[in-house]
Amino acid sequence: MANKKPKPRDPEAARRQALAQWSDPEKRAKLLAGARKPLEPPQDAADLIQKACENGCTVLQIAEALGVSQQTLRRWRDERPEIEQAFHHGRAVEHDRLVNALFTAATQKGNITAAIFLLKARHGYVEGVPLVQNSVSVNFTLPGAMTPEQYVKTLTVEAQLVQPEQARQLAGDRKVRKALKNELSREAE
C-alpha cells in the first residue's frame, strides 16, 4: 500500500456532527431515547425515610441509603407529599425521644445540666432575671389615612346611624339646640 498522508484534523468537525444529529428528527429521537430517565423513589421509600429520621439520620445519610443524590431526594420531597410527610413524622418521633431522654436525665438521674437546659428551652428561664415579670403592653391600631372625600363619606354613613327618635330627643335638648345655633352661626359667617 502506498503511504497515505494523514488528513488534517478539522476542529469544527465535532461541532458540525453534533449539530447535524440534533437537526435530523430521526437522529434526535435516537439520542433522546438513550437519555437517562428521572429516578423514581422505591415503593417503600416513605417507610425507609421515616425510620431513618426516627433514628437521627441526616439527609445525606438517607440519600446515600437510597442510592441517590441529595438533590434527587429534595426533588422527591417537593413532588411527593407522602415522602415529605414521612420526613416530618420521623423528625417528630426523634424530637419526642430526645425530649423524653433529656427529661429522664434531668429528673431521674439528677443531671443538673439537662434540668437547666429544659427550664431554659421550655419555660423561658433566664439566669439572673427574676421569674415574675409584671408588665403591661398596650397596642393602638390606627386606621390608615383618608382622603377628604372618604372622610365625608364616613361621616355621612355615621350620621345615618342616628335613629329618628334619637334625633328628636336631641333636638328637644336646650344644650344641643344652643350648640347647633352657635355652630350654624359660625358657618354662616
Tell me: do 56 and 115 sit in the same domain: yes
- Nearest alpha-carbon partner for 65 in 79, 80, 78, 47: 47
Q: Which three cell numbers stand for residue 189?
A: 359667617
Residue 135 lies in a domain: no
| Predicted local confidence at residue 3, as pLDDT | 65
Distances (CA, A) of 51 to 14, 34, 81: 50, 36, 17
Supply the DSSP symbol for 44. T
Tell me: do 106 and 168 sit in the same domain: no
Give per-residue pLDDT as tens, 143-172: 778 887 887 777 676 666 666 677 777 777
Residue 7 confidence (pLDDT) above 70:
no
| Predicted local confidence at residue 1, as pLDDT | 54
Who's near 68: CB < 8 A, 6+ residues apart? 39, 76
Who's near 69: CB < 8 A, 6+ residues apart? 63
Q: Note down the domain range covering 78.
A: 45-123
Tell me: do 103 and 156 sit in the same domain: no
Give per-residue pLDDT as tens, 62-93: 999 998 999 999 999 999 999 999 999 999 99
CB–CB of 78/39 below 8 Å? no
Residue 1 lies in a domain: no
Residue 58 lies in a domain: yes
